[in-house]
Structure 1
Amino acid sequence: MTTTQSVMDRPAESAPAALADTAMTDTAIADAGVMAGLMEAAAQLRPLVAQRARQTEIDRRVSAEVTGLLRDAGLYRVVQPKRFGGHELSLESLRRLAFELGQGCTSTGWCYGLSAAASWVLGMFPAEAQHDVWGQSPDVLIASCIAPTGKATPVDGGFRLQGRWSFGSNCDNAQWLSLGAMIEQEEGKPPRPVFLLVPQGEYRIVDTWHTVGLAGTGSKDIAIEDAVFVPAHRTVSFAEVLEQEAPGAHLHASPIYRLPFLSGFPPLLANPAVAALRGALDEFIASVAARATRGAFAGGGQSIAQFGHVQSAVARGEAAVDAAQLILQRDLQLATDLAAAGTRLSAAQRITLRRGHAYAVQLCVEGINGLYDVVGGTGIQLDSGIQRAWRDINAVAHHISVNWQAVSTMYGQMRLGLPPRGQY
């Protein structure tokens, strides 16, 4: 029997010959031990994170207290380069840790995942930029505004940066920001998008974050009205991080710094939706399913768990969590394996990865909508984790990087032989 190779199939030559050894290396054993300790710390913190979930929404940010506990546990260092005090583990390790925390509070899981991921991106910057940020302390936190809505004007030694940015998740707890901007080029050439690093004190946080979902992420606006100077070494171009050519990529042993940005970052945007659905299902089964129906409803007096449509909603939600996690795990592993082998991901592979990221979120939207439909009147209470997950998951689905309507067309265009329109 013969099969047709899909664009996601891993080429036989993608694994280095050294990986044929069955014995784990000393480094792998040590990394496994570090990860076990981090997972234990995250599991111990999850009840507190869950207890604070409602207050986090009210405060519209993750508290300094919770942030400090995560920092003290070393959780933010998971994908930070080892030479700067980090653990330099995989993006899948980060996804798992954020999944653990996100079951208790989606906003906390979102902020943790994105700020930890910002250390991964910083590992792609020039070495001097990494020294600027981590030289004094390995526990510096970074937030980011990815969209290049700022303007960077070239000057001697660097750029003058000004502008306004949206969605600065976890900016209240950060000491540095990574901001997207456009650099004007000579006549006839389009502007060039870049990331620039700016320290606390050179930007202003504008309190604009009043939202129906992800309310505790503190994703406020960032403003720089009077242009600030950014040295050239504190920049990296979008093209470099998209095309596996970042200047910092070969400074560190791990292949994660050679991953295309849009193959590694969107899974971490999708992950909070999966964690939220997992937490909502557990809450539903523990505290709602056994509750008896009341009023004139047919079958009144029975437990909610007795109804077939409730059973189906639980099954659909559980299947969505399983399927979404498998997609994200597979896609992160594929991208990492190819990067480790020195293989440049093809356009078809990157677009297919983008499809998986968005579809994982779409599965969670369908799963939580089905669960919320059967939760009953208690589900409209603001202290219900199920309705919070319903709002949060639907909010995640509005992010352009994991929005099914925005991303799926790009994949369809590719498969139908049309020029794909979008970022990948």
Structure 2
Amino acid sequence: MLDIGTTATAKGAQLLSRARELAPVFRARAAEAEKARRIPQESIDDLREAGLLRTLQPAALGGYQLPLDEAVLITATVAEGCGSTGWIQGIFSDHCATLGMFDGRAQQDVWGASPDSLVSSGFLPAGRAFRVDGGFRLSGRWPFSSGCDHADWALVRSFVPGDSEPPELHMFLVAKSDYALIDGWHVMGMSGTGSKDFELKGEVFVPEHRTLSDRDLRNGTGPGSAFNGGALYRLPRHATVPFSLAAPLVGMAERALQLIVQNMRERSGGERRSVHEGAIHIRVAESAAEIDAARALMLRDCREAMEIARQGGQMSLDLRARNRRDIAYVASRCTRALDRLYAAAGAKSIFLDGEVQRLLRDIHAAGQHMALNVGH
């Protein structure tokens, strides 16, 4: 079982406990989520009621503003129940932290009316943007918007041409009323995330305060930290916040380990022979070690980044590069561990109503994300 440990805040420990209680509930709905190709509304309601969609939301606007290391453990725990639900909880948490780096007026636009507002995204740079008085004109279509069915806003990235300089990458905040969802989400894994495309309805005006340069996101120098206070919104985003996407893979691998060990204990008669086979023990032991190592690496990097930010420092480029490496490494180690466990699961694991085969498909699909795949 995942554990925050002795350094947990009281709120972090409380939210982790709620995540543990809800994991079996999400597990019971995993097949439904996969079939519907979106998270059931009941699961979104459960996450919202438990406060698990506000882990990284600014405290000034109704959130809990947890340290990143505590938030990723909560995400991993949700993913023990359902990989897709854990991914969505991690995605919405990522976007809370990211929006917390924006101008305070943008944050108030989203959470001022309702602290329950959710933000999806289209992070593959696309579309067309250009400067106008007071802001930007933006148009285009973005893929892979996880959780978009439940979101009220979206963050997208697009290049803005300069008069004499190369185009600069920016992130833009757009309201759901400005775009339409396009359903082409028919996939082999993570089906429940509902990661559809969306397209803006023509050219949309985005005011200046709803944009942030990729440079500021990279360096943790956005204006949001002055509005919110706290270290979380001074983190260099790309080298820290995407651990929210690696965390679900830790949870999925941990759940596969639980299932295999449970299965070994429950086998009877002739089936029990495999329990004593050294090869099976080695596979389980290696996988357990890899999962533990992946979790420890994730927590070390998140805790170090938080401590540097608390002390008012800046992460060096070497540390940022290390973290980017580790985000992908955590994902690859967990995928490798689950592959090895599946190979030990036996013939019954091939049936489509089995939990392990869904975990296998989901972890491979999740690992294709550009932040988690070392080949991207």
Superposition TM-score, scaled by structure 1 size: 0.84
Equivalent residue for 2:369?
399
Give the whole-Å Cα distance in 2 for the aligned partners of 1:64 and 1:272. 20
**Pairwise CA distance, 1:301:** 4.7
Which digits, 9 at most, give the CA deviation of each residue in 1:306-339, with x for residues without a partner?
A: 2222111111111111000000000011111111
State the SS of the aligned residue for 1:249: helix
Give the whole-Å Cα distance in 2 for the aligned partners of 1:236 and 1:220. 24
Task: Please tell me whether the aligned partners of residues 179 and 197 of structure 1 are also in contact (alpha carbons under 8 angstroms).
Answer: yes
Task: Please tell me whether the aligned partners of residues 250 and 258 of structure 1 are also in contact (alpha carbons under 8 angstroms).
Answer: no
Equivalent residue for 2:246?
270
Equivalent residue for 2:3?
none
Give the whole-Å Cα distance in 2 for the aligned partners of 1:313 and 1:214. 25
Matched, 1:286 2:256: no
Equivalent residue for 1:138?
115
Task: Please tell me whether the aligned partners of residues 12 and 71 of structure 2 are also in contact (alpha carbons under 8 angstroms).
Answer: no
Per mean C-alpha deviation after superposition, the further-off stretch among 323-332 and 355-364 is 355-364
Give the whole-Å Cα distance in 1 for the aligned partners of 2:50 and 2:245. 22
Q: Which one of the candidate residues 357, 372, 375 is aligned to 2:327? A: 357
State the SS of the aligned residue for 1:125: coil
Task: Please tell me whether the aligned partners of residues 131 and 137 of structure 2 are also in contact (alpha carbons under 8 angstroms).
Answer: yes
Equivalent residue for 1:15?
none
Q: Which one of the candidate residues 236, 239, 263 is aligned to 2:212? A: 236
Unaligned runs of 5+ in 1: 1-27, 294-299, 407-424
Matched, 1:102 2:79: yes
Give the whole-Å Cα distance in 2 for the aligned partners of 1:154 and 1:291. 66
Give the whole-Å Cα distance in 1 for the aligned partners of 2:355 and 2:171. 36
Give the whole-Å Cα distance in 1 for the aligned partners of 2:373 and 2:193. 19
Equivalent residue for 1:305?
275
Give the whole-Å Cα distance in 2 for the aligned partners of 1:288 and 1:210. 34
**Pairwise CA distance, 1:265:** 2.2
Letter in 1 for 2:355: G
Q: Which one of the candidate residues 176, 191, 209 is aligned to 1:215? A: 191
Are the structure 2 counterparts of residues 302 and 85 from structure 1 closer, same or farther at C-alpha, using a change threshold of 3 Å?
A: closer
Task: Please tell me whether the aligned partners of residues 262 and 354 of structure 1 are also in contact (alpha carbons under 8 angstroms).
Answer: yes
Per mean C-alpha deviation after superposition, the further-off stretch among 106-115 and 218-227 is 218-227
Task: Please tell me whether the aligned partners of residues 263 and 332 of structure 1 are also in contact (alpha carbons under 8 angstroms).
Answer: no
**Pairwise CA distance, 1:36:** 2.3
Aligned residues: 371
Q: Which one of the candidate residues 160, 168, 180 is aligned to 1:204? A: 180
Give the whole-Å Cα distance in 1 for the aligned partners of 2:41 and 2:288. 33
Equivalent residue for 1:152?
129
**Pairwise CA distance, 1:345:** 1.4
Give the whole-Å Cα distance in 2 for the aligned partners of 1:312 and 1:390. 19
**Pairwise CA distance, 1:102:** 0.4
Are the structure 2 counterparts of residues 197 and 307 from structure 1 closer, same or farther at C-alpha, using a change threshold of 3 Å?
A: same
Letter in 2 for 1:384: G
Write the mapping of 1:6-405 to structure 2, written as runs, cut at 5 A. 32-187=9-164, 189-287=165-263, 290-291=266-267, 301-405=271-375
Letter in 2 for 1:237: S
Task: Please tell me whether the aligned partners of residues 397 and 404 of structure 1 are also in contact (alpha carbons under 8 angstroms).
Answer: no
Letter in 2 for 1:400: M
Which digits, 9 at most, give the CA deviation of each residue in 1:251-276, with x for residues without a partner?
A: 22320100001122221111111110
**Pairwise CA distance, 1:282:** 0.8
State the SS of the aligned residue for 1:204: strand
Give the whole-Å Cα distance in 2 for the aligned partners of 1:385 and 1:349. 37
Task: Please tell me whether the aligned partners of residues 289 and 303 of structure 1 are also in contact (alpha carbons under 8 angstroms).
Answer: no
The structure that has the greater radius of gyration is 1
Task: Please tell me whether the aligned partners of residues 97 and 241 of structure 2 are also in contact (alpha carbons under 8 angstroms).
Answer: no
Which digits, 9 at most, give the CA deviation of each residue in 1:266-309, with x for residues without a partner?
A: 2111111111010111112223564359xxxxxx6544322222
State the SS of the aligned residue for 1:76: coil
Give the whole-Å Cα distance in 1 for the aligned partners of 2:271 and 2:262. 19
Give the whole-Å Cα distance in 1 for the aligned partners of 2:374 and 2:212. 29
**Pairwise CA distance, 1:405:** 3.4
Per mean C-alpha deviation after superposition, the further-off stretch among 341-350 and 131-140 is 341-350
Give the whole-Å Cα distance in 2 for the aligned partners of 1:368 and 1:309. 16
Which digits, 9 at most, give the CA deviation of each residue in 1:103-134, with x for residues without a partner?
A: 01111000011112211111110011111111
Give the whole-Å Cα distance in 2 for the aligned partners of 1:130 and 1:382. 43
Superposition TM-score, scaled by structure 2 size: 0.94
Give the whole-Å Cα distance in 2 for the aligned partners of 1:205 and 1:110. 19
